[in-house]
Each structure stands twice: as C-alpha cells, then as structure tokens.
Structure 1
Amino acid sequence: MAEPPHVRALIVSAFDDFVRHQNIDQFLSVVSARYTEGTLERLLCSDDARTRRAAVMALGHLGSFAVNDALARCLSDPDPSVRELAHHALWAIWFRADTPSHNARLEKVRECNARGRHELAIRLASDLIEHAPRFAEAYNQRAIAHFCLDRFEESVRDCVQALVYNPNHFGAMQGMGQCLLRLNRREEALGIFRRACKLMPYNHDLKQWVEVLEAEAEGR
C-alpha cells in the first residue's frame, strides 16, 4: 500500500534540506520524530527516487537488522544514488547488528584490520564469535584478516559462515570469490560471483568476472 502524499513529502523535504546544508543531525531528528522503521521500509518501494533515497539514508542511520532484506533489494534499484546509499546503509547496519557491547568489540576488529594487525584481528574476532556466534560481520572481518595473511581456505570458511547468518552480505560473496580464484577453484568462484551479480546487477566488476569465468568454462 502506497503511503499518503504528505508522508512522502515530509521526508523528501528533510532530505532536500540535508542535501543543501549537509546537516545529518537535523535530518535524523525530523525523521526519527515522524517515521517508524516500518514506514521507512515501505517508502523504499516508492515510485519517486528522492523518496527512496531519503528512506535508504534514514534506515542506514536509524534502521535495525530487520530491514536488511529490504535494503538489499535496493542494490538493484534503477536509480544509482539509491544503490550507492543502500551499499553504505547495509554496511552501517551490519556493524551494529548485535548488542552495543558486541558492536564495540567488532569495531576494534575492524580497526585492527585497517591497521594491518591481522593476527590480532583474528584473535579478537574469534573471541567475539564465541560470545556472538550469529554475528555475521564478525565472521566477515575474520575472513578479511585471513585473506590478508594469504590463508584463503580459512577465509572461505568464514565467508560461508557470514553468508549463513546474512545471505545478503555482498562483501563476503566478493571476498569468497577472490579467495576461490586464488585457490584455483574457478567454477565455485563463478557460482558465488553469479550470486553476487543477482544481488547487484549493476556492478560492472562482478559482471566482468562472470563473463571471464563463463568464457573459461565454455572453453574447457
């Protein structure tokens, strides 16, 4: 069911103000006072691109993991701005998908990976996983650390687990595909890249990998 015009108009006005003034706090204040998560999720289906952009950005800041599937569908939106906003919104939601304490510990893992301290990242992620075994991003961050240490089998296993708990995790799909290429498991890499392409049909790099690997498969 479409939302009434005044519901769409308010969030579009708030979004336009944000675009002009870059005051994210003001935008979120307006949205959080007037919109529930459910209403924002329904606005993702609006036929107006600005409404979809506003709803995606709001959910990226305010949404819970419950809107993961809805935001993932926005990765195939015809509007490139919606797709880009959805990409960032999903990462934000994935990093706050557990308790505040576990989310803070995950941030430390991410920081270790960013600083090249991959062994420490693995230890911290492993400890976090013991306490939060369904936290998909903890597995993905450990997969990143393993990848950076050329431990591709271990990275693949963690990517698989990340996808068990978050089937929309395009980062885990792409990382897993790169690991499989390095392990010369090219048919499996093609499969995971195809899966990622269904989620992100406008992603040029993914389409190129699918084309290359399909051509290889046809030549064998």
Structure 2
Amino acid sequence: MDSLDDLFDRLRTAASPAEIEALQDGIWQLWLTTAHPLLDKYLEAGMRALSAEEYTLAIREFTELTVAAPEYAEGWNKRATAYYLRGEFKAALRDVAETLRHEPRHFGALSGWATILRTIGDNRGALRVLQRLEKLCPHWPGLQNQLRDLRDTLED
C-alpha cells in the first residue's frame, strides 16, 4: 500500500479527474483508518449520525473520538463538518484549525475552511486557503474556477 507521502506526491502532479479521485480515495482510506476498535466505533457512529443529519449526536461521537485520540486529525475534521452543517461556523473553524495542525495537507479541511470563509463573507481568506489547496493539488476539480471567481470578486 502507498504511504500518505507517496499519494500526496502523486496528487500534486495528477491531472486527470479519474487519477485525482483515485488518489484522494486512497488518502481518505488511510485517514479513515484508526487501527483501534473503540476509535472505529466512535468514528462509525459519528458518520452514521452525520449521514442521518443528526448533527448533535455526530458531534457527541466525534468529541469522544477527539478526546480518546486527540492526535487523530480525521476526528477533528469530521466534527468540524458536523458543526458546519449545524451552522456553528466558529466551532467548525476551530476544529478545522486542529485538523490542519495534525495533518497540514488535509484537502478536505482546506476545502471546508474555504467554504466556511465564503459563507461568512471572507472572500480574501477563502482565496488564501484555496491557494494552499492549489499547492497540494493544482488540478483539483473546480478549483481553478473557484480561484478565478474569488479573484474577480475581489477586484470589483
């Protein structure tokens, strides 16, 4: 199996949508591996709650995960998603920051961060975050359009 570093090296130069998707899937598989049954239980329960739009329950499960394994970046990222979906942008931003502290290349967290910043009207901040994402994966589907839209908006 490829290491995270190998997958990210290949993602940086991947140009075809199918290759990008395959590499991202490989990275997500590694990120979603806790290697511990109790952590898996919290992660799976939280993801089920998230899918069912039960955000309070999802936050509770992901909180258990972040307490049990504070170094596990994906626990923070998943909780950030639940907070975002519940409209709690400040809490989501705190968890995105924690995710990126543990995994600075977390493209899901970067993408989510940019979405939150756009939602709250911080287009300049969103542009900076998407530029970070561009360094990881310049051919990320839709990224160049988002960058162009933000640049156009900021020039007006």
1-side partners of 2:5 and 2:48: how far apart? 27
The sequence identity of aligned pairs, in percent, is 28
Residue in 1 that maps onto 2:7:
71
Residue in 2 that maps onto 1:145:
82
**Secondary structure of the corresponding residue to residue 201 of structure 1:** coil
Matches within 5 A, 1:178-197: 178-197=115-134
Inter-CA distance 74–157: structure 2 relative to 1 (3 Å threshold)? same
Inter-CA distance 97–173: structure 2 relative to 1 (3 Å threshold)? same
Length-normalised TM-score, structure 2 = 0.90
Q: Which of the pair has more CA radius of gyration?
A: 1
Query: 1:144 corresponds to which letter in structure 2?
Result: T
**Matching of residue 218 in structure 1 with residue 139 in structure 2:** no
Runs of 4+ in 1 over 4 A off after TM superposition: none
Contact 2:47 2:58 in 1 (8 A): yes
CA apart distance, 1:136: 0.6
2-side partners of 1:151 and 1:77: how far apart? 34
Inter-CA distance 149–190: structure 2 relative to 1 (3 Å threshold)? same
Contact 1:69 1:168 in 2 (8 A): no
Contact 1:74 1:82 in 2 (8 A): no
Please list every run of 5 or more consecutive structure 2 residues that lacks an aligned counterpart in the other structure.
Answer: none
Residue in 1 that maps onto 2:36:
99
**Matching of residue 117 in structure 1 with residue 54 in structure 2:** yes
Length-normalised TM-score, structure 1 = 0.66
Please list every run of 5 or more consecutive structure 1 residues that lacks an aligned counterpart in the other structure.
Answer: 1-58
Query: 1:82 corresponds to which letter in structure 2?
Result: E
CA-based RMSD of the aligned residues comes to 1.6
Task: Find 1:127's aligned residue among 52, 64, 78.
Answer: 64
**Secondary structure of the corresponding residue to residue 142 of structure 2:** helix
RCO higher in 1 or 2 (8 Å CA, sep ≥ 6)? 2
Number of equivalent positions: 155
2-side partners of 1:70 and 1:218: how far apart? 38
**Matching of residue 108 in structure 1 with residue 38 in structure 2:** no
Contact 2:17 2:141 in 1 (8 A): no
Deviation by residue 1:167-206 (Cα, 9 ceiling, x = unmatched)? 1211111111111111111111111111112212112311
